[in-house]
Structure 1
Amino acid sequence: MELTDPGPLIILGVLAAAFFTLVVIGWPRPRLRGLRIGIRAVEVLLLNAVVVVTAFALLNDQYVFYSSWADLLGSRSAQTQLHQGGSNRTVIASKVGAGALHQQGPTNYALPQAGSRLQTYSVLDRASGTYVPVVVYLPAGYNPASPRRYPVIVGLHGFPGTPISFLHPNAFVATADRMTSEHRLASTIFIIPTIDTPVYVDTECINGPPGQPQTDTWLARDVPAWAVQHLHVSTARTSWATMGYSYGGWCAAELALRHPSIFAAAVVFQGYFRPDFGAGYDPLTPKELLPYDLVRLARLAPPPVALWVFTTRQDTLSYPTTARFLSVARAPLDVQAVILNTGGHRASLYAPYCPAALTWLASTLPGFRA
């Protein structure tokens, strides 16, 4: 019986019902009062334990955090590394049209929280006319009065989530700090926008029909243009990359592949390559979704972008479309992939690979080289 089979849930449900019945009817009923109280306490504790385990099993059944008993027990998985498509030299040399990085506008480099590396801004979403929270994590030594320019990683959180959930419990910025101090990565600005607007709507980072969220435009036009006017960022596309996990991994891939004039690379942790909307929000028809089919894009019109991809063969959300994407990727698209043979969909699997991903980024794009 596998962990993801119906069997464990059925057994846990039966046990929960049995312990609940025992607690309600007060059975067994020994004559000694102390023993009776002790048995009742043990039954209540067991009931609570089974309910907690059942809740975990239900969540795992939906999200597949753990894909097998071996995965749950922490067994190490064998891995495969693949390279598909072209090379980083092609990505670097490719000329693409000017994007939001080259829009002109007034500048204001003052920091709202002076002296802090963690800044919070409200950035205008021009399509909706609303201001959306954006968190910025600055490199050590950043000085708003200095003309020095920095590369940018746009960090994209999962769903549901917030910009802060990209920072904690993930170790992305801590790993970047350590690698920078070791001269293995250039000092980098992390820009972490809110990607669920309105809150708790699974936008999949796309543009909906008129009147619906225009998240793709917000992330690919408004945020980069704002960054150029408020932060000392490089305007070279080879100094801009996206990074995300799960839903944010999809967004990272979507932004880089569809907007190569802004982003030259993406780091995708257990993301996917076709939109996967949650219940209650499915804004586009299949025909309207074709531009967001990254498998189709990689096959028909691959852009000059470099991707580092992490997934597992047992990840039912990430692996199916990732495998299809890898099978069709061709130059000038450049893809490096790490695929574990086993494992579910959770941070403890991809977190150890963050140094490898950032090392790849530093060796792939000149803007991130120390």
Structure 2
Amino acid sequence: MGLTSDKVLALVVAAAIGLFVGTVWLWPRLARGGLRAVAGRVGLLLATQLAIFAAVGLVTNQTFGFYASWADLFGQEDGQGVVVDHTPGRGPGPLEVVDTGRVPGAVSARPEVGGQIQKIRVVGRTSHIATPAFVYLPPEYFQPRYRTRTFPAAVVLTGYPGTARALVDKLDYPRTAGRLVADGRMRPMVLVMMRPTVAPPRDTECVDIPGGPQTETFFAKDLPDAVSGHYRVGHGPGGWGIIGDSTGGYCALKLAMHHPRVYGAGAGLSAYYKAPIDATTGDLFQGDAELRNRANLWWYLKHMPAPDTSLLVSSSKVGESNYKDTLKFIERVKANGVTRISSIILESGGHNFNTWRREIPGTLEWMSGRLSGGRVAA
């Protein structure tokens, strides 16, 4: 059973409850002196605390999606990383579909009715970054009347460290998109769901690191090129958007601002506005002041030409540390007169999945209204 399995969580919770009840029941018998009684008390307390700790850890992981598997938890995950291909023209293509599955909660497993989730592997031709992702294809993608149509596409990013699968199973992006289309609130859209951490365990903050992973190049060029070459999605200005939460939200805003001809819209849920430098990022800029400034959205708004793109930011009056910065960011963008800015401000909500699930329907509806798509394929 996997780390994120509900069965594992239920078993650990049941064990914690059982050990707690057992400790209360057996404690009077172990209250006397003697080595065996003392060892029994210590053993029960230790086992109960470990079970409670494991249960809390599993619940936290289920809520925030920090680790996707046991191998990921214990640092044994080796399926992701940076691959450098020194022989141009050889090796796998830029995009490979490695698995397909149904959309969680869909009414049918038939893709033309319920849509489809495809697990893919993308290899950047320019950045040489290789990373997995999940692609949501809406039911319309498989229906005969749409066979000559292209669809708008949106990249959806987790926070750090995050797991791409959590975007499918926990944040319910595909199911939410399907429901909104059925309700007539958005157009069918292809979603490319992944981590911004394309060189784990390092948090690259979507920066082209000197001598390191070229993460911004991957998201601004390699990923749209690979997806557009494989799926019927638009590849011109306004055909792509990008959404993210937390670290992914910062990346979404930055990429839309830096590359408005690629991303016609960017939505940052609970985003921050300046790349941090800490133990997870390492030295992102290697002394390059220009690179550091470009990664600072406050500096970018003040010193660079206003990007012709649409931005959405979100926060909560109570529970989010970015509330004041978000209001300030909105005013800064409004002042440039070119970039379009929208917001979702909740009365209360923490930095967590529950808050983002409340914001995702409005975000997808907003994104759909700002992207072009639905054209006859060439």
TM category (shorter chain) comes to 0.5 to 0.7
Cα deviation for residue 125 of structure 1 reads: 2.1
Is the Cα contact below 8 Å between 1:314 and 1:342 reproduced in 2?
yes
- Distance in 2 between residues matched to 1:135 and 1:228, nearest whole Å: 15
Q: 1:112 to 1:296 in 2, by over 3 A?
A: same
Query: CA, structure 1 residues 324+289, in 2 after alignment: closer, same or farther (shift >3 Å)?
Result: farther
Aligned: 1:273 with 2:279? no
> How many Å apart are 1:357 and its aligned residue?
1.8
2:295 match? 292
CA contact (8 A) 1:313 1:319 kept: yes
Paired residue type of 1:202: D
Q: Map of 1:156-305 to 2, 5 A cutoff?
A: 156-210=157-211, 212-280=212-280, 281-284=282-285, 285=287, 287=289, 288-300=291-303, 301-305=305-309
- Please tell me whether the aligned partners of residues 298 and 325 of structure 1 are also in contact (alpha carbons under 8 angstroms): no
Structure 2: runs of 5+ lacking an equivalent: 1-23, 65-92, 101-109
Q: Which residue of 2 aligns with 1:141?
A: 140
**Match for residue 312 of structure 2 among 308, 312, 320:** 308
C-alpha distance 268-187 of structure 1, shift in aligned 2 (>3 A): same
Cα 1:329/1:228, change in 2 over 3 Å? same
Deviates more, 1:318-327 or 1:231-240: 318-327
Alignment partner of 1:358: what SS? helix
Unaligned runs of 5+ in 1: 1-22, 64-106
Distance 1:47 1:271 in 2: 38
**2:126–2:222: 8 Å Cα contact kept in structure 1?**
no
Q: List per-residue Cα deviations over 1:23-72 (Å, max 9, x = no partner).
A: 9xx99975699xx99x959983997399749x88xx9xxx9xxxxxxxxx
Equivalent residue runs for 1:350-361 within 5 Å: 350-361=356-367
Paired amino acid for 1:295: W
In the TM superposition, residue 200 of structure 1 has moved relative to its aligned partner by: 1.8
| Change over 3 Å in CA distance of 1:186–1:343 after alignment to 2 | closer
1:355 is aligned with what amino acid?
A: P
Structure 1 residue 132, shift from structure 2 partner: 2.1
Distance 1:350 1:134, change over 3 A: closer
Match of residue 339 from structure 1 = 345
Q: Quick one: distance in 2 between partners of 1:349 and 1:207? A: 30
Q: Percent identity?
A: 25
SS at match of 1:264: strand
Contact 2:152 2:371 in 1 (8 A): no
Query: Which stretch of the first structure deviates more once superposed, 315-324 or 225-234?
Result: 315-324
> How do 1:89-128 residues align onto structure 2 when only pairs under 5 Å count?
113=99, 117-127=116-126
**How many residue pairs end up in the alignment?**
296
Separation of aligned partners in 1, 2:374 and 2:368: 5
Question: Matches of 1:183 and 1:262 in 2, distance apart?
Answer: 26
Match for residue 48 of structure 1? Answer: 49
The answer to whether the 8 Å contact 2:97/2:121 transfers is: no
Q: CA deviation at 1:352?
A: 1.4
Aligned match of 2:5: none
TM-score (norm 2): 0.66
Distance 1:366 1:341, change over 3 A: same
Residue pair 2:97, 2:120 contacting (<8 A) in 1 also: no
Aligned 1:7-46 pairs, distance under 5 A? 44=45
8 Å contact from structure 1 (residues 274, 321) kept in 2: no
Structure 1 SS opposite 2:238: helix
TM-score normalised to structure 1 length: 0.67
* Shift in alpha-carbon separation, 1:264–1:231, aligned structure 2, 3 A: same
Q: Is the 8 A contact 1:247 1:271 kept in 2?
A: yes
Letter of the 1:132 partner, please give it: T
Deviation, structure 1 residue 194: 4.2
Match of 1:131 in 2: 130
Structure scoring higher RCO (CA < 8 A, sep ≥ 6) equals 1
